[in-house]
Amino acid sequence: KAGVTQTPRYLIKTRGQQVTLSCSPISGHRSVSWYQQTPGQGLQFLFEYFSETQRNKGNFPGRFSGRQFSNSRSEMNVSTLELGDSALYLCASSLLGTMNTEAFFGQGTRLTVV
Amino acid sequence: QQQVKQSPQSLIVQKGGISIINCAYENTAFDYFPWYQQFPGKGPALLIAIRPDVSEKKEGRFTISFNKSAKQFSLHIMDSQPGDSATYFCAARGGSEKLVFGKGTKLTVNP
């Protein structure tokens, strides 16, 4: 069974630009969660989607947004990029949500803001 | 406020030694405690997990010890190997809480 697919793997953007990252969950999984990973802060929760609805949101500014499509694929968008947004963005797929089912991670998208 | 506190931040162990990583939590609603292993360039992968109704769970060289009264749990890697060199994250979930992670421990096992 195919794993979690995140695209692109690497991105370089300029301050002020916006970026869209994509995540395709494991087939049959209805929940997608997004995390930001940085060396100093570890894995920080961004948001979780279940059946196209945002179910949880972390403490990130409104520049970070996401959505989930009817096929469970998810995208996250970061607008007006800042240098501090440079990080590994991880997507986790789970059957019903990380509150009660296992989370499987993709390899991440490495975003560098210059 | 960090819900799961992990220590140490980094750990260097000789091949064959025991690696021990500790985590502590505050939320008594947590009822599931997984550990994830992450290699460079990869996403975290579930390694082993425990529920609070048992005090220990062993899978091969990896053991989780759980102390409910102290609200602490730890990962022990016996006979550590260079291939175990990775970053390890403890996590917790329960009640209405989503999965939350510790900040990670970078383990280096020297040959």
Q: Give residue-wise pLDDT tens across range A16-59.
A: 999 999 999 999 999 999 999 998 788 999 999 999 999 889 99
Greater pLDDT, A1 or B38: B38
Q: Give residue B83's pLDDT band: very low, low, confident or very high (50, 70, 90).
A: very high
Burial status of residue B57 (CB atoms within 10 A of its CB: 0-12, 13-18, 19 or more)? middle
Q: What is the pLDDT of residue B52?
A: 87
Q: Give residue A1's pLDDT band: very low, low, confident or very high (50, 70, 90).
A: low
Minimum CA–CA partner of B34 in chain A: A102
Q: What is the pLDDT of residue B1?
A: 61
Check if B43 contacts A (Cβ < 8 Å): yes
Which among A45, A48, A105 has CB closest to B44? A105
Q: In a 3-state reduction of DSSP, which class is residue B59?
A: strand
Q: Which two tokens stand for residue A75?
A: 């995208």
A98-104, long-range: CB within 8 Å, 24+ apart, which pairs? A98/A31, A98/A33, A98/A48, A98/B93, A98/B98, A98/B99, A99/B93, A99/B96, A99/B97, A99/B98, A99/B99, A100/B93, A101/A31, A102/B34, A102/B46, A103/A33, A103/B46, A103/B99, A104/A3, A104/A4, A104/A26, A104/A29, A104/B46
Closest CA to B50 of B98, B103, B92, B7: B92
Q: Give residue-wise pLDDT tens across range B19-75.
A: 999 999 999 889 899 999 999 989 999 999 998 889 999 999 999 999 999 999 999
d(CA B96, CA A62): 23
Query: To the nearest whole angstrom, how far is the Cα of B4 from the nearest Cα of chain A?
Result: 11
